[in-house]
Amino acid sequence: MYHYNQKGLQTLQNYILERKPSKVIVLTDYHTKELCLPKLLPYLPAHFVNINIPPGESYKQIETLQSIWKQLLENNADRNSLMINLGGGVITDIGGFAASTFKRGIDFIHIPTTLLSMVDAAIGGKNGINFLQGKNQIGNINLPKLILVNDDFLNTLPQMQIDSGIAEMLKHGLIGDRDYWQKMVTYLNNKNTNFSQLIKESIQIKNEIINEDPYEKGLRKVLNFGHTLGHAIESYLNYQKKSPITHGHAVAMGMILSVYISNKIKILKFTLVTSIISVIRKQFTLIPFTDQDILYILELLSFDKKNINGIPQFILLEDIGIPAIDQAVSKEIIIESFKAYNALATKRSDK
């Protein structure tokens, strides 16, 4: 289903030749149009339609979706058209949703161009947009026909966005594979490791999980480790504070909080708390939160899609590689964990 590196783009050309879509539409954002689309041109038919949207999380919303639908109509896209989503997680999320809903669904292909979208957002068929204060409130699960991962696209990606993807790679180790976690730790300590191989293994970990539970009835929930608080922090900083951070940065802070919570509810040993947090902390700046910030973030937790009867359900850790799903956590424990996190955030980092 997914193809890795150079062969991937060739696969696109073969797929288009065989499938003969009535129209090929390539969705980009301003950055991927300039930096990534030229690399794709040799593999595209001469006449394709480009829909180009502004970059960033704040455009993963209903007005942008409407403008994509409108441009699909204006360009006479029909049910036999093919949409190619060329970009980061914002493009694959909104593009996958636009294609899944246009004329009750047209075929689409993801070509992820950020590290985060290669190892995470493009894999697993979750599509959607943010709505009101909540992240990913509207969406569906519908798989692309192909996912073409080519890490040459990373050459133009800013370091901050590479770090964002690294957060999800670390997550894959923590929830699914102790050996992979160790490989990531080694990579972060001395960058000599083959990074392409680490990307490939990260995709494999996610793929195995979603193949077993595509509709998130059980196992797939583990992929939300760090995301319950991470999403609330991301929405808070993006929309209330107007001080946006990357998705992975928010997830990294969410993972640290979840590690503290795991220890406070006595399922994770303190020695592991320190060793896990020291790895994450070296890579990410921890933003301190005031009491007022924490109250807002707690309020945003009420929008989390995994809530049951309004109570947030956390994915926590029992050990590296061993997650615990559906953990209801009291407000008091969450606040205590923010306190422990804040103590660390205000300390000088040992970067």
Cβ partners under 8 Å of residue 106, min gap 6:
77, 78, 79, 80, 81, 82, 83, 99
Decide whether 77 or 123 has the Cβ nearer to ligand NAD. Answer: 123
CA–CA dist 108, 77 (Å, integer)? 13
Are the C-beta atoms of 182 and 266 separated by less than 8 Å?
no
Decide whether 95 or 312 has the Cβ nearer to ligand NAD. Answer: 95
Question: Closest separation between CB of residue 247 and ligand NAD, Å?
Answer: 4
CA–CA dist 223, 234 (Å, integer)? 17
Question: Closest separation between CB of residue 181 and ligand NAD, Å?
Answer: 19
Decide whether 130 or 342 has the Cβ nearer to ligand NAD. Answer: 130
Which residues of this chain interact with ligand NAD, rule CB under 6 A? Answer: 29, 31-32, 35-36, 55-57, 60, 87-91, 93, 113-114, 116-117, 120-121, 124, 126, 135-136, 153, 156-157, 161, 164, 246-247
Decide whether 161 or 228 has the Cβ nearer to ligand NAD. Answer: 161
Question: Closest separation between CB of residue 264 and ligand NAD, Å?
Answer: 26
Would you call 297 helix, strand, or coil by DSSP? helix
Alpha helices for 190-290 (secondary structure H):
195-212, 227-235, 247-264, 270-283
Closest residue to ligand NAD, Cβ-based? Answer: 89
Question: Closest separation between CB of residue 322 and ligand NAD, Å?
Answer: 22
CA-nearest of 121, 153, 141 to 4 is 153
CA–CA dist 281, 272 (Å, integer)? 14
Question: Closest separation between CB of residue 266 and ligand NAD, Å?
Answer: 30
Decide whether 148 or 273 has the Cβ nearer to ligand NAD. Answer: 148
In this structure, what token pair is assigned to residue 280?
């994450």
